[in-house]
Structure 1
C-alpha cells in the first residue's frame, strides 16, 4: 500500500495511469522497470493478460525480473519460486510456500498499443481515467515510435515539449527555423489540459516537413502555413498537433489533401527524481499505408529526440551542480509553468 507520506516525498502523482512498456517488451519474458520510484516486474499471466507485481522475490529478495515464465507463472531465477499475477506464491520445488504473504500487485491496462500501470493504490485504479486516444483506434491514422531512457527530471521534458522555441536552436537541421522565434505564443487552459499554440504563415518548410510534404504527395518547395499546438494532460502526457499546409488553404483547418498533419506523441513516465522513460512517436493522417514512410519518420524523430536527450541530460547535470541557482521565466515558459502547476495541484490532492 502507498501511504500519504510516501506520496508526499515524490514529485509525481501516483494515482494515475503511466505507460509502462510496449507489448513486445513482455513477449514470453518478464520485464523489470522502475516507475515512479517503484521497482516493478511486468509479464503475461496464464490468460495472456498483462500483470505487474513488485520486483522482489519474497523468498530471498532476488529481482523476479531475472527469472522466466512457465505456464503463465513468473518463476524466480534464483531458487525457482513461482509467483502469480496477484503477488501470491504458487509453488516451489520440494517446498511448501502457500502460506507466504503476498507481494504487492499493481493495476495494469493494455490499450492503445501500450501497457499502462497505476503506481498508486490498486483499489483506487480507475480505467475511466485513462485518456481516450482516438488516433490509436482509427484506421485513418498510422503510427510509429520508440523509447528513450533519459537521465533527467521528467518535468524538464514537459517544459521542453510545452515550449518549442528551442527547435530553432537544438533542431536547426531538421524542424527548426527562425520563424518559430518570431511567431507569438498563446497559452490557455482548456478543460483539464494546458494548450500552447503557435502559427506561422507563408514560410518555407524545414527539412523534416519537406520530407513530410513529399510523403503526402505535395510539393516540398511550396510556401506553407505551419502550426504547433502542444497539449499537456495529467499525469505527464504531451500530445503535439503539428503540420504544414499549402499556404492560403486554411492552415490548421485545411483539407486533408492540402496538408501534412500529425500528432507528436509524448508519454513521459518518471523513473526516479532525476530520470524517466520517454515513449515517443508520431501518429499521422497522410501516407498511412506507406510503411517505408513510417520508418523514415521514425528515424527522423529518433534523431530529433536524441538531440533533446543530450540537452536535457546536460541541463539536469548542471542543475544538480548548482542547486542554489533559480531559473528565469519568460512568456514562452507559460505552458511549462502551467503544466507544473497542474501537477502540483494533483500532488496536493493526493497528499490531502
Structure 2
C-alpha cells in the first residue's frame, strides 16, 4: 500500500516570484496542474487537462487570461470556463476545467487540493519569516524522488547531521545529544540542547564563533508536511541572550506517492545587510539538502512503494517521526471516513 497525502490542507505550489505570465506545469498529490498569473496579478491554478481531448493545457499559450489549447484551439478562462471554440458558437456545459483555491501569502503560492468548500485562507500555515523585516531570508527548491513522510522523518531526527552533513552543519555532538519529543496542540516538538561542542564549519563561517559553542535546534512539525526548525548558537562561556538565531523553513508538497516538492528557506536574525553571508548560506544549504536528497532517494528505492512503516528497528531518536506519522494517519483516517 502506498502512502496517500491528506487533501484538505494548503500546500505550497510555488514561490510567488516563480509564477508570472507563463504557463507553469506542476504535479501535486498525483494531480497535474497548470499555473499562471493573470493580467491583474492574481494567480490561477487549473487542472492541466483540456476538457476536449485531455491534452495538457500547459502545452498551450496565454491569450489574455485564457489558455488556448494547442491541439484544437479551445480557450479556457482562468475560472475554468470555456470562452471560445473555433469551429462553433455553442459551448457545451462540460467544456470546463477544474480550478483550485489559491492564496498568495508570505511570498508563497498556496493551493488547496481537497474540498473547495473547506478552503479557509485563515488556515494557511504561518511562514511569516519570508516577509518579516526582523529576519533576512534566502530560499530554494529541491525535487526529491521520495515520499513526503520520509522528508518529515529526516527533519524530525537531526542526529543524521553527524554523518550526512559533517562538512557543513554536523559533528559527533549532534547525534550524542539527548533528545526530547512531545505533542502539543496537534504539533510535534523535537528538541536538542548541545552543550560545549566544537562549532561545525557552517557555524564558524556564519557566526564567527571559533571556540566551543552551545547550540540548540527544535523541529516543530505541523501536519501534514511543514517543519520549522528553531536554531541558535552562542559561545559556551557566554549567555543564551547573546545567541545568534536562525529558522530553517521546510515546506514539503507531495508530488506523487514516491516524490516530493521540497520548498525551503533559511531566515536569520543577525547581520541583515551582509549580502555575501546570504549567498554563502544559500549555497551551503543547497549543498546540505543535496546530501539529504541522495540518501532519501536511495531509501525510497529500497522501500519501493511501501512507505507506511519504515521503522523495523525503532531507536529513541525515532519518537518524533513516529509521533508525526501517527498525526498524519489520524488525519487520513478522518478524511477517508468523511468521504465514505
TM range (shorter): over 0.9
For residues 171-215 of structure 1, give each alpha carbon's deviation from its aligned partner in whole angstroms, at most 9, with x where no partner exists. Answer: 11111111112210000112221000001112221001111113x
From 291, 299, 302, the counterpart of 1:315: 299
Per the alignment, do residues 32 and 108 of structure 1 end up closer, same or farther by CA in structure 2, a change over 3 Å counting? same
Q: Which residue pairs with 1:237 in the alignment? A: 226
Aligned length: 335
CA drift at 1:223: 2.3
d(CA) in 2 for partners of 1:322, 1:117: 27
* 8 Å contact from structure 1 (residues 270, 277) kept in 2: yes
* SS of alignment partner, residue 304 of structure 2: helix
* 8 Å contact from structure 1 (residues 195, 335) kept in 2: yes
* SS of alignment partner, residue 232 of structure 1: strand
Q: Which residue pairs with 1:76 in the alignment? A: 69
Deviates more, 1:193-202 or 1:130-139: 130-139
d(CA) in 1 for partners of 2:311, 2:287: 31
d(CA) in 2 for partners of 1:301, 1:126: 33
* 8 Å contact from structure 2 (residues 15, 109) kept in 1: yes
CA drift at 1:9: 7.9
* 8 Å contact from structure 1 (residues 266, 280) kept in 2: yes
Deviates more, 1:205-214 or 1:158-167: 205-214
* SS of alignment partner, residue 335 of structure 1: helix
Per the alignment, do residues 322 and 33 of structure 1 end up closer, same or farther by CA in structure 2, a change over 3 Å counting? closer
Matched, 1:292 2:286: no
CA drift at 1:60: 1.8
From 104, 110, 124, the counterpart of 1:110: 104
* SS of alignment partner, residue 249 of structure 2: strand
CA drift at 1:132: 2.2
Matched, 1:272 2:256: yes
CA drift at 1:44: 1.6
Q: Which residue pairs with 1:195 in the alignment? A: 189
Matched, 1:27 2:12: no
CA drift at 1:46: 3.9
From 227, 235, 239, the counterpart of 1:250: 239
d(CA) in 1 for partners of 2:305, 2:119: 38
* 8 Å contact from structure 2 (residues 188, 320) kept in 1: yes
Runs of 4+ in 1 over 4 A off after TM superposition: 321-326
Structure 2: 5+ residue runs without aligned partners?
Answer: none
* 8 Å contact from structure 1 (residues 30, 41) kept in 2: yes
Per the alignment, do residues 9 and 125 of structure 1 end up closer, same or farther by CA in structure 2, a change over 3 Å counting? farther
CA drift at 1:248: 4.0
TM-score by length of 1: 0.90
* SS of alignment partner, residue 27 of structure 1: coil
d(CA) in 2 for partners of 1:286, 1:15: 37
Structure 1: 5+ residue runs without aligned partners?
Answer: 1-7, 215-219
CA drift at 1:99: 2.5
Per the alignment, do residues 197 and 22 of structure 1 end up closer, same or farther by CA in structure 2, a change over 3 Å counting? same
Per the alignment, do residues 231 and 300 of structure 1 end up closer, same or farther by CA in structure 2, a change over 3 Å counting? same
CA drift at 1:100: 4.2
For residues 239-267 of structure 1, give each alpha carbon's deviation from its aligned partner in whole angstroms, at most 9, with x where no partner exists. Answer: 1011211224333xx2xxx3321111110
d(CA) in 1 for partners of 2:163, 2:231: 18
* 8 Å contact from structure 1 (residues 16, 119) kept in 2: yes
